[in-house]
Amino acid sequence: MAETTTGTELPKGFRSAELGWPELHRIPHPPYRLPLLGDVIGASRRTPLQDSLKYASLGPVFRRNAFGKEFVFVWGARLVADLADESRFAKHVGLGVANLRPVAGDGLFTAYNHEPNWQLAHDVLAPGFSREAMAGYHTMMLSVAERLTDHWDRAAAAGRTVDVPGDMTKLTLETIARTGFGYDFGSFERSRPHPFVTAMVGTLTYAQRLNTVPGPLVPLLLRRAGRRNAADIERLNHIVDEVVRARRADGGGSGDLLDRMLDTAHPETGERLSAENVRRQVITFLVAGHETTSGALSFALHHLARHPRVAARARAEVERVWGDTAAPGYEQVAKLRYVRRVLDETLRLWPTAPAFAREAREDTVLAGEHPMLRGAWALVLTPLLHRDPEVWGPDTERFDPDRFEARAVRSRPPHVFKPFGTGARACIGRQFALHEATLVLGLLLRRYEFHADPAYRLKVTERLTLMPEGLRLRVERRPVRGRAVSDAPVGRAPQ
């Protein structure tokens, strides 16, 4: 068995940009830098990502200093394309991702590139995301979506608004838990979020807060938060141990992700994941597998409610492609090209995992301009990359799914749209997320009209991921062609 790194290990030392960027002085920083404190004037601790977006006017690469730590941020398309060169750059486990090490250890998302468990887990788990595996999850995704529509039908009948992010979180948590782990969290039967979700939100928020407090002051300023975080981690461990115990008790599932984690040996080396590493992977997949998809669906519904013409066009496509089929088949989801463009445009404006870090594998020069020593790193700000006017034109705030029409996509250079990261460490769950989100949007568009509250102004909460805060919609049942989806016998979707 491959050795595992314990989950309680603290992140490795922070590498300040002065150590890796010999010509750092050429990279602009905000005015009014304060001695010792750095660029803290006007900085918000709750929304550090949206804060950084304010500095786009400094140029496609800029730096900020917080309490003596210097960070380089990159968003210009040409520079990001260079950082995507896998022969010279790799994922950097730093900032927020490194702060999750005590929770997720050397699980797939938080593993350092050199840790043997990354390759082992990647090779063992990748077949769980093959086309064939995805087709296998489809029926279960449909049946979870039906729980959501039952819930929304009741709200529509009673004239109540729906809590979009809350309900999308229930949906996506149930979907990954059931498809990947054969486990039912009973989210739709609860009036409050499942304790897994509360503990997850706690640990993500804490990991983000760690970035905004100087290291030596953490024990002082975050003492209570630290204790709460330890309790949250314990709760997460307890829940995943129960998921694993339940599987062991019923003697194996249907070849899902958990079966792969527990029983599958590496095809070449014969190695298996250790028990501790399985724990890390279960947490990783339960968290990474639902939080960002939930945000993507929530933002998409916000845009659809605000753009009735886009919604009407998407709805017309669903009716044309799905016809009277009560339970659309796997193949019928990929055919919803316009719905998929709605999702892409949503992830352009609000990529729900809004940054990823890259480090130099060797001494190199970024885009022929900025020397970097081996190990130097930069944070790519995806929401700004997705608004680079040189690529996306002057009106980048406008929501326009036609930006993802095939010809428009071909006319843009590569590496300008990166909601799922890049290279070997890009998102393993991309197809899973896109299939689930397209299916669910298709079902909701067909079944409901969405009515926005005209007084609502989009407010984005940050906990490493992004989520629209306080988004509620009024949903109105539409006459559904053929049988209602909820009348369909689940489990017999045509493949």
Active site residues: 292, 420, 427
Q: Which is nearer to ligand HEM, 65 or 117 (CB)?
A: 117
The letter for the amino acid at 91 is K
Minimum Å gap between C-beta 109 and ligand HEM is 4
Minimum Å gap between C-beta 353 and ligand HEM is 4
Q: Which is nearer to ligand HEM, 38 or 354 (CB)?
A: 354
Q: How far is residue 185 from each of residues 171, 198, 242, 335, measured CA to CA in Å? A: 10, 13, 11, 31
Please report, as residue ranges, which positions from 286 to 305 form the binding site for ligand HEM (by CB under 6 A). Answer: 288-289, 292-293, 296
CB atoms within 10 A of CB 86: 14
Q: Does 284 sit near ligand HEM (CB under 6 A)?
A: yes
Q: Does 429 sit near ligand HEM (CB under 6 A)?
A: yes
At 210, list the tokens. Answer: 């760690």
Minimum Å gap between C-beta 293 and ligand HEM is 4
From 55, 62, 89, 109, residue interacting with ligand HEM (rule: CB under 6 A): 109
Q: Which is nearer to ligand HEM, 109 or 417 (CB)?
A: 109
Q: Is residue 442 a contact partner of residue 322, using CB atoms and an 8 Å limit? A: yes
Sole window of 160-168, 201-209, 386-394, 418-426 interacting with ligand HEM (rule: CB under 6 A): 418-426
Site for ligand HEM (CB under 6 A): how many residues?
27
Q: Does 420 sit near ligand HEM (CB under 6 A)?
A: yes
From 61, 90, 97, 278, residue interacting with ligand HEM (rule: CB under 6 A): 97
Q: Does 432 sit near ligand HEM (CB under 6 A)?
A: yes
Q: Is residue 63 a contact partner of residue 31, using CB atoms and an 8 Å limit? A: no
Strand (E) or helix (H) holding 308: helix 308-322
Q: Which residue of this chain has its Cβ atom nearest to ligand HEM in the complex?
A: 429
Sole window of 14-22, 149-157, 423-431, 440-448 interacting with ligand HEM (rule: CB under 6 A): 423-431
Q: Does 208 sit near ligand HEM (CB under 6 A)?
A: no
Q: How far apart are CA 439 and CA 435, in angstroms?
A: 6
Q: Does 176 sit near ligand HEM (CB under 6 A)?
A: yes
Q: How far apart are CA 282 and CA 37, in angstroms?
A: 39
Q: Does 117 sit near ligand HEM (CB under 6 A)?
A: no
The letter for the amino acid at 257 is L
Q: How far apart are CA 460 and CA 10, in angstroms?
A: 29
At 300, list the tokens. Answer: 């998409």
At 249, list the tokens. Answer: 């008790």
CB atoms within 10 A of CB 4: 21
Q: Does 277 sit near ligand HEM (CB under 6 A)?
A: no
Strand (E) or helix (H) holding 473: strand 472-477
Q: Is 395 helix (H, G, I), strand (E, B) or coil?
A: coil
Q: How far apart are CA 113 and CA 215, in angstroms?
A: 24
Q: Does 165 sit near ligand HEM (CB under 6 A)?
A: no
From 72, 84, 108, 233, residue interacting with ligand HEM (rule: CB under 6 A): 108
Tell me the longest C-alpha to C-alpha distance in the chain: 68
Q: Tell me which residues touch ligand HEM (CB under 6 A).
A: 91, 97, 108-109, 122, 176, 284-285, 288-289, 292-293, 296, 351-353, 356, 419-421, 425-429, 432-433
